[in-house]
A and B are shown apart, each in its own frame.
Chain A
Amino acid sequence: MRAFQYLMPFALVGLMALPSHADTGDAELGEKVFQQCKGCHQVGASAKNRIGPHLNGLFGRKAAGLEGFKYSKSFQRAGAGGLEWHADTLDVFLENPRAMTSGTRMSYRGLKDAQDRAHLIVYLRQFSDNPANIPEADPTAQAVDHDLDPAILALVGDPEYGEYLSGECTTCHQAAGGDDGIPSITLWPEDQFVVAMHAYKNKQRNHPVMQMIAGRLGDEEIAALAAYFKDLEN
């Protein structure tokens, strides 16, 4: 539990600044949460890559950053675009893996409980460099609730408006669904589309073009686009 104690001051600073939070995590409880990850991921002294990459040294690691592990294209793109694993990015990812990388092969629906995420992040943090040795280390023990307002997810989009707005997408994303360096967004399930676009808008995803485009789309507009692309037949 030493790691936990070191983390306390960082976590308290975070609590004051952020609107919605869970309490500080507990590594022992995190180890229990990790049971559901163990089928694919190993962590600790003898950890190896299995179905998923090993999680030693995870903090500060670039996404898709382990040599010798075959990552999804989606993760490679996210890593090349600058995504790194820290408490905040892990928290977003663990809550809903597809919010951050639509094409991840991690078949996990997400850990909805912010407190459980906090426990898990503290547990995993022990297998990266000791924060006591790194002055700017992540305040890892505290999780924020990022979940999209259910009202946003429940919005019913107007596909006609979406068709007009889609002109801004199809300059780069081929309507026919081709994928030559820019991912396809055609026939994308509506909820995933909405979650992804809000993740750009809230700067949880880091692509500058998409942050710019999504940044000025309103909730209704994102819903309209999602409604249009989900059924786009060519």
Chain B
Amino acid sequence: MTFNRRMFLGTSAVMAASLAAPMVRAQGKPRVIVIGGGAGGATAARYIAKDSKGEVDVTLIEPTRTYYTCFFSNLYLGDVKDIDDLGHSYGGLAAGGVNVVHDWAVGVDRDAKTVTLASGGSLAYDKLILSPGIDFVDGAVEGWDLTSQNAMPHAYKGGSQTELLKAQLKAMPEGGTFAMVAPPNPYRCPPGPYERVSMVAHYLKANNPTAKIIVADPKPKFSKMALFQEGWNNHYAGMIDWIGEDFGGGEVSVDPGAMTVTIDGEVTKVDVCNVIPAMKAGHIAEIAGVTDGNWAPVNAADMSSKADPDIHVLGDASQQGDMPKSGFSANSQAKVCANAVRGALTGSKVFPAKFSNTCWSLIDTNDGVKVGATYEATDEKIAKVDGFISQTGETADVRKATYEESEGWYAGITADMFGASV
């Protein structure tokens, strides 16, 4: 075969076209920007890219290169999982056609429909999906602010804070005291603080059995309370002192310098203090002007913001009705949102919203419990349809099966968020 001039020109033209292709295509294609690469954002980006088969230009803005899940992070505290088990890269999303930009989104211009990046660039969108997770309410716990997070970690976002809390737990002196300041409703992962108490107790029982745990809680009751209290009695009798609202659990202040916690006027010196303050929508939602109070109200049918039909808010940051703030919920909302956004941009069929959630918690090795429900979209909110919860007194076989199921769920949801690992 000879290499003639015509072929040469043809090849060059193809090469030139392929180099220019992303820009050329992007100008003609509808653009979706997703801010936040967690359970809501990663899922939405992946589903829009996957289902539109290249018809929609999808950009995901996420500052971290490795995402550490907040769900299952308690199992790392309890020595049940390694930190590496919780880390996920964005390679699978990029391979699936999502343009992944590792940067902070610092501004949203809703009139110009652009997002400003910390690095100075600006990106245009037709539809913007915000899935920024949570930030903390200033002044929620007296004596604590973000500058105290090294002395008294919140460990309520996955990654370095989780590792810091684990290091402090390991460094506790024999017979020391681990304190937790639990958050008021509504907050991310309702059973999370209590699973954390369980996993910390699990760690201490094995490594520091005379240590104590005190929990100051502004609430009179909490998610799966009967199940956790049964488990604490069964596995960690005498170790955990839960001080609820009725006993002054809401009257709490901390001193990160002196490492003291004051509960209802009583000062206690502690060795580790995990402060989980009151929460609000991730800051970018506030910057975009779609919050009302601490959260961003949305329409249940498609998760669109009540303030702007071209912005959708997913997961913990949204105020949607009856669903708990969980990774499972965010993933479920993301698929409804992805279907609606793709329909609006490409005319694809939009199916009615359907939501579901299940939260598994681990109390001790192979002692798993769960709570779940299904939801539907009404005019006012996402409304609960049906639900179930694990029962107290279940057999060890049932609890072990529940835990194994939670491991299956972890593998499932992370594959669903990030695509096949590469």
Contacts and interface: CB of A to CB of B under 8 A. Distances in A.
B386 interface: yes
5 shortest A-B CB distances, which residue pairs?
A182-B408, A181-B408, A167-B335, A80-B401, A181-B404
A79 B397 contact: yes
Contact of B386 (A167, A181, A216, A234): A216
**SS of B interface (majority):** helix
A44 interface: no
Nearest to A80: B401
Interface string A171-184: 11111101111100
Interface in A176-234: 176, 178-182, 208-209, 211-213, 215-216, 234
21 contacts: A80-B401, A81-B398, A82-B398, A164-B339, A165-B351, A167-B47, A167-B335, A170-B416, A171-B328, A172-B408, A174-B412, A174-B416, A181-B409, A181-B411, A208-B370, A208-B388, A212-B372, A212-B373, A213-B374, A216-B374, A216-B386
Interface string B224-237: 00000000000000
B380 interface: no
A79 B401 CA distance: 10
A81 B403 CA distance: 12
B332 interface: yes
A29 B312 CA distance: 65
A81 B401 contact: yes
A213 B47 CA distance: 21
Contact of A212 (B328, B332, B386): B386
B370 A209 contact: yes
Given A171-B409, A174-B415, A180-B408, A163 B420 contact: no
B140 interface: no
Interface in B72-106: none
A161 interface: yes
Contacts of A173: 412
A54 interface: no
Interface in B323-358: 328, 331-332, 335-336, 339, 349, 351, 354, 356, 358
Contact of B406 (A82, A174, A178, A181): A181
A160 B411 CA distance: 25
A209 B372 contact: yes
B347 to A, nearest CB: 14
A149 interface: no
Nearest to B406: A181
Contacts, number: 96
A204 to B, nearest CB: 17
A171 B398 contact: no
Given A165-B351, A165-B354, A171 B374 contact: no
Interface string B149-168: 00000000000000000000
Q: Which of A164, A175, A234 has the most CB of B within 10 A?
A: A164
B411 A212 contact: no
Q: Which of A81, A82, A167, A212 has the most CB of B within 10 A?
A: A167
Contact of A163 (B51, B386, B408): B51
B65 interface: no
A77 interface: yes
Interface in B266-301: none
A216 B385 contact: yes
B308 interface: no
B332 A171 contact: yes
Contacts of A182: 405, 408-409, 411-412
B109 interface: no
B398 A172 contact: no
Contacts of A67: none
A215 B415 contact: no
Nearest to B386: A212
A136 interface: no
Nearest to B329: A171
A175 B398 CA distance: 26
A174 to B, nearest CB: 5
A110 to B, nearest CB: 26
A175 B408 CA distance: 12
B401 A171 contact: no
A162 to B, nearest CB: 10
Nearest to A208: B388
Contacts of A167: 47, 332, 335-336, 339
B354 A175 contact: no
B405 A234 contact: no
B401 A170 contact: no
Contacts of A179: 408
B53 to A, nearest CB: 12
Contacts of A208: 370, 372, 388
B400 interface: yes
Contacts of B420: 176, 234
A86 B366 CA distance: 28
Nearest to A181: B408
Contact of A172 (B385, B400, B404, B413): B413
B403 to A, nearest CB: 8
Q: Which of A163, A173, A180, A215 has the most CB of B within 10 A?
A: A180
Contacts of A211: 388
B351 A209 contact: no
A213 B356 contact: yes
B411 A178 contact: yes
A175 B96 CA distance: 14
B388 to A, nearest CB: 4
